[in-house]
Structure 1
Amino acid sequence: MSAEAKPLGGLRVLVPRGGTWGDLVSKALREQGAHTVIAPLVDFSHTSEEDKLVEALKELEAGRFDWMTATSSTVADVLAHHNAVIPPETKVAVVGEATAVAFRDAGYHITRTPVRENSTHALLEEWSEIDTDERLRVLTLRSDVAIPVLTQGLMSRGHDVTQVLAFRTVGVPASVHIREDIESGRINALLVASAKIAEQVAEQFPELSEDTIVACAGANTLEAAAALGLPTEADDPAHPLYASKRALIETVESVIDQSDMLD
Structure 2
Amino acid sequence: MSTVKANSKPLGSISFVGVGPGDLGLLTVRAIEAIEQAGAIIYDRDIYAAVVERYAKNDAELIGIEADAASLPMSNAARAKRLVKAAKDHGHVVRLLDGDGAVFAGLAEEGLACRKAGIQFEVVPGVSIPAAVASYAGVPLTADGVRGVHVVQAGPQAVQNVVSGKKTSNVLLGSAGELIETSAAMIEDGWKPETPIVISADGTRVSQASVETTLAEVKPQLAALARRRELGTDLVAMLGPGIAHRAALSWFETKPLFGWNVLVPRTKDQSTSTTERLTEFGAVSTIVPTISVEPPRTPQQMEKAIKGLVTGRYEWVGFTSVNAVRAVKEKFSEFGLDARAFAGLKIAAVGGVTAQALRDWGIEPDLVPSGEQSAKGLLVDWPPFDKVLDPINRVFLPRADIATETLVAGLQEGGWEVDDVTAYRTVRASPPPAPVREAIKNGTFDAVLFTSSSTVRNLVGIAGKPHASCVIACIGPATAKTAEEHGLRVDVLASETNAISLVESLADFAQSARDAAIEAGEPVLRPSQRKGAARRRAR
Tell me the distance in 2 between the aligned counterparts of 1:143 and 1:18. Answer: 16
**In the alignment, is the contact (CA less than 8 A) between 1:145 and 1:168 conserved in 2?**
yes
Which residue number in structure 1 is paired with residue 445 of structure 2? Answer: 187
Which residue number in structure 2 is paired with residue 122 of structure 1? Answer: 377
Q: How do residues 58-69 of structure 1 correspond to structure 2 at under 5 angstroms?
A: 58-69=307-318
Q: Kindly state the Cα deviation for residue 153 of structure 1 after the two structures are TM-superposed.
A: 1.4
Select 1:255's aligned residue among 500, 503, 509. Answer: 500
Q: Kindly state the Cα deviation for residue 48 of structure 1 after the two structures are TM-superposed.
A: 3.7
RMSD of the TM alignment (CA)?
2.6
Which residue number in structure 2 is paired with residue 155 of structure 1? Answer: 412
Q: CA offsets per residue over residues 166-214 of structure 1, 9 Å max, x none?
A: 1111111212342243345333222222222111222233354322222
Residue type at the aligned position of 1:195: S
Which residue number in structure 1 is paired with residue 323 of structure 2? Answer: 74
Residue type at the aligned position of 1:200: N
Residue segments in structure 2 that go unaligned for 5+ positions in a row: 1-249, 503-539
Q: How do residues 91-106 of structure 1 correspond to structure 2 at under 5 angstroms?
A: 91-106=346-361
**In the alignment, is the contact (CA less than 8 A) between 2:372 and 2:497 conserved in 1?**
no
Q: Kindly state the Cα deviation for residue 108 of structure 1 after the two structures are TM-superposed.
A: 3.4
User: CA, structure 1 residues 60+194, in 2 after alignment: closer, same or farther (shift >3 Å)?
Assistant: same
Tell me the distance in 1 between the aligned counterparts of 2:497 and 2:281. Answer: 11
Q: Kindly state the Cα deviation for residue 145 of structure 1 after the two structures are TM-superposed.
A: 2.0
Identity over aligned residues, as a percent? 28
Identify which range, 8-17 or 87-96, moves more after superposition: 8-17
Select 2:400's aligned residue among 127, 138, 143. Answer: 143
Q: CA offsets per residue over residues 24-58 of structure 1, 9 Å max, x none?
A: 22222223332212221112112245211111111
User: CA, structure 1 residues 65+33, in 2 after alignment: closer, same or farther (shift >3 Å)?
Assistant: same
- Aligned to 2:321, what secondary structure does the other structure show? coil
User: CA, structure 1 residues 4+205, in 2 after alignment: closer, same or farther (shift >3 Å)?
Assistant: farther
Structure number with greater CO (CA < 8 Å, separation at least 6) is 1
**In the alignment, is the contact (CA less than 8 A) between 1:191 and 1:214 conserved in 2?**
yes
Residue type at the aligned position of 2:382: W
Q: Kindly state the Cα deviation for residue 256 of structure 1 after the two structures are TM-superposed.
A: 6.7
**In the alignment, is the contact (CA less than 8 A) between 2:401 and 2:424 conserved in 1?**
yes
Q: Kindly state the Cα deviation for residue 14 of structure 1 after the two structures are TM-superposed.
A: 1.3
**In the alignment, is the contact (CA less than 8 A) between 1:97 and 1:255 conserved in 2?**
no
- Aligned to 1:33, what secondary structure does the other structure show? coil
- Aligned to 2:378, what secondary structure does the other structure show? helix
**In the alignment, is the contact (CA less than 8 A) between 1:3 and 1:34 conserved in 2?**
no
Which residue number in structure 1 is paired with residue 363 of structure 2? Answer: 108
Tell me the distance in 1 between the aligned counterparts of 2:252 and 2:312. Answer: 50
Count of residue pairs brought into register by the alignment? 243
Residue type at the aligned position of 1:132: D
User: CA, structure 1 residues 254+183, in 2 after alignment: closer, same or farther (shift >3 Å)?
Assistant: closer
Q: How do residues 27-42 of structure 1 correspond to structure 2 at under 5 angstroms?
A: 27-42=276-291
Q: Kindly state the Cα deviation for residue 254 of structure 1 after the two structures are TM-superposed.
A: 6.0
Larger radius of gyration: 2
Tell me the distance in 2 between the aligned counterparts of 1:154 and 1:208. Answer: 38
User: CA, structure 1 residues 57+252, in 2 after alignment: closer, same or farther (shift >3 Å)?
Assistant: same
- Aligned to 1:5, what secondary structure does the other structure show? coil
User: CA, structure 1 residues 152+207, in 2 after alignment: closer, same or farther (shift >3 Å)?
Assistant: closer
Tell me the distance in 1 between the aligned counterparts of 2:496 and 2:382. Answer: 27
- Aligned to 1:215, what secondary structure does the other structure show? strand
- Give the TM-score normalised by the residue count of structure 2: 0.42
Select 1:166's aligned residue among 398, 420, 423. Answer: 423
- Aligned to 1:214, what secondary structure does the other structure show? strand
**In the alignment, is the contact (CA less than 8 A) between 1:14 and 1:36 conserved in 2?**
yes
Q: Kindly state the Cα deviation for residue 225 of structure 1 after the two structures are TM-superposed.
A: 1.9
Which residue number in structure 1 is paired with residue 386 of structure 2? Answer: 132
Tell me the distance in 2 between the aligned counterparts of 1:211 and 1:4. Answer: 22
Q: CA offsets per residue over residues 211-241 of structure 1, 9 Å max, x none?
A: 2222222222222222222x21xx4xxxxxx
**In the alignment, is the contact (CA less than 8 A) between 1:174 and 1:204 conserved in 2?**
yes
Q: Kindly state the Cα deviation for residue 139 of structure 1 after the two structures are TM-superposed.
A: 0.5
User: CA, structure 1 residues 207+62, in 2 after alignment: closer, same or farther (shift >3 Å)?
Assistant: closer
**In the alignment, is the contact (CA less than 8 A) between 1:17 and 1:39 conserved in 2?**
yes
Which residue number in structure 2 is paired with residue 15 of structure 1? Answer: 264
